Amino acid sequence: MKEKIENIKLDLDKDLENIKTTQDIVDIKAKYIGKNGCITELTKNMKDLSPEERKEAGMLSNEIKNYATDKINNKEEEINNAILNEKLNKEAIDITLPATEIPTGAPNILEKVIEEVEDLFMSMGYDVYDGPEVEEDKYNFELLNIPKGHPARDAQDTFYIEGNEILLRSQTSAVQARVMLEHEGKEPIRMICPGRTYRRDEDDATHSHNFTQIEGLLVDKKDISLSDLKGTFDALAKKLFGEDCVTRFRPSYYQFTEPSVETDVSCFACKGKGCPLCKNTGWLTISGAGMVHPNVLKMCGYDPNVWKGFAFGFGAERCAMLKYGINDIRTFYNADLREVGIFDRKEDK
């Protein structure tokens, strides 16, 4: 037995010298002190010994077991420390390396255009309103002089939520009626309202069943005329498209304005000479507008003999597309960062 133990010791010392990895530790533990290890083996035959011999064999095998366990544990610690040190050395941070660039966000281009418009109108004394997207037929159509059965409803067919009275608003013009009723025919109004609208439309590069409009309404007792609207639209166009652009009105028709106009801005890309952006016309159509129809004023609680007003409404995406040279409206609703990055906010840099 003694001889066996001596041999085990010699083997163990030799094995320990060659150990390098944590797997080697696992193996050496199994070989010596594991369930079937050679030291454990020693105690297995003890039942055949005499009590005297058993006592001595027990002492000796305990001794060698403790010896082996200590040695193996020490070696394990040594190896773990070596692995840790190597890792620390390898992973040391080189502070002279350039920092990793963290991509930062930028304001949404559509929000930017809306904010620009809000800033301009607030500077002219307008309030910014918010209206519900789920709207009543009354506000979206009836109070805007578009009674049930009116053919103008076809072009603004929308999503009906409950029966035919609750719908997703097809135009932010609905907020005109809300704001006028809120002021009970007593106070002048200057408001704009940016917001989402919904309507049946072919979804293509320039149309979407869901888009953003910016509505404007001014009501006052003073002699408000089309030239006030013209001046206001001129300020808007210059703010969005540059100081040197000019504007024009073309006759149009809306049920809630009389007279109604279509407002154009001279093409900022070709300065009115004609180019692909303006389809060679030299002009870009921006909004619908007009003098608030007397029926609308009356239905919304304003006496048309005393009050007058103008209104306008335009698509925010269309303005952003023209301004930033975006040729597909779907880009605004697409979460693909590669596409969003295309209109890389040059002036934000």
Choice between 43 and 252, CB closer to ligand DAH: 252
Choice between 28 and 114, CB closer to ligand DAH: 114
Residue 288 Cβ vs ligand DAH, minimum distance, rounded to whole Å: 3
Residue 345 Cβ vs ligand DAH, minimum distance, rounded to whole Å: 28
Q: What angle do CA 137, 195, 165 make, to 5 degrees?
A: 10
CA pair distance 96, 93, nearest whole angstrom: 9
Choice between 153 and 271, CB closer to ligand DAH: 153
SS3 assignment, position 254: strand
Residue 110 Cβ vs ligand DAH, minimum distance, rounded to whole Å: 17
> In this structure, are residues 172 and 131 in contact, taking their beta carbons and an 8 Å threshold?
yes
Residue 104 Cβ vs ligand DAH, minimum distance, rounded to whole Å: 36
Q: Which residues contact 217 (CB under 8 A, 6 or more apart)?
A: 175, 176, 179, 180, 189, 190, 191, 192, 292, 309, 310, 311
SS3 assignment, position 141: coil
Residue 317 Cβ vs ligand DAH, minimum distance, rounded to whole Å: 13
Choice between 233 and 241, CB closer to ligand DAH: 233
DSSP 328: -
Choice between 201 and 339, CB closer to ligand DAH: 201
Q: Which two tokens stand for residue 89?
A: 């050395």
Residue 217 Cβ vs ligand DAH, minimum distance, rounded to whole Å: 7
Q: Which two tokens stand for residue 101?
A: 């660039």
Q: Which residues contact 139 (CB under 8 A, 6 or more apart)?
A: 131, 169, 174, 175, 177, 178
Binding site for ligand DAH (CB under 6 A): 171, 173, 215, 254, 257, 288-290, 311-313
Residue 312 Cβ vs ligand DAH, minimum distance, rounded to whole Å: 5
CA pair distance 261, 52, nearest whole angstrom: 119
Q: Which two tokens stand for residue 310?
A: 């103008």
Q: Which residues contact 253 (CB under 8 A, 6 or more apart)?
A: 260
CA pair distance 124, 273, nearest whole angstrom: 32
> In this structure, are residues 194 and 117 in contact, taking their beta carbons and an 8 Å threshold?
yes
Choice between 215 and 278, CB closer to ligand DAH: 215
Residue 172 Cβ vs ligand DAH, minimum distance, rounded to whole Å: 7
| Beta pairing, strands 134-136 & 160-162 | unpaired
The b/e string for 288-311 (b: 16+ C-beta within 10 A; e otherwise) is: bbbbbbbebbbbbbbeeeebbbbb
Choice between 257 and 266, CB closer to ligand DAH: 257
Residue 341 Cβ vs ligand DAH, minimum distance, rounded to whole Å: 31
Q: Which two tokens stand for residue 38?
A: 């050679």
Choice between 195 and 288, CB closer to ligand DAH: 288
Choice between 39 and 296, CB closer to ligand DAH: 296
Name the β-bridge partners of 218: 190, 310
